[in-house]
Amino acid sequence: MPEYNRNSGQPWTDADRQKLAKLAKENTPTRIIGLKLGRTEDAIRAQAQKDGVSLKPTNQSPYNRQ
């Protein structure tokens, strides 16, 4: 079982921001991103908005398939 760090209240590092962007691009749910980064879902959403990272899932519509 992986270890989870509690980073609540700690400043965001560049590595944390890069990991957030990577996980968001891979359609990882916000809750899972929070667990992996040791942050709350609200903190994940707030930082994603600051950095301009979209947390919306991509390729979810069956009408977009080719």
Rounded CA-CA distance 20/26 in Å is 10
> For residue 17, what pLDDT is reported?
95
DSSP string, the chain: -------TTSPPPHHHHHHHHHHHHTT--HHHHHHHHT--HHHHHHHHHHHT---S-SS--GGG--
Residue-wise pLDDT for 15-29, tens only, equals: 999 999 999 998 899
Read off the pTM.
0.77
Instruction: Note down pLDDT in tens along the chain; length 66 residues.
Output: 455 567 777 899 999 999 999 999 988 999 999 999 999 999 999 999 999 999 987 766 556 555
Q: What percent of the chain has pLDDT over 90?
A: 59
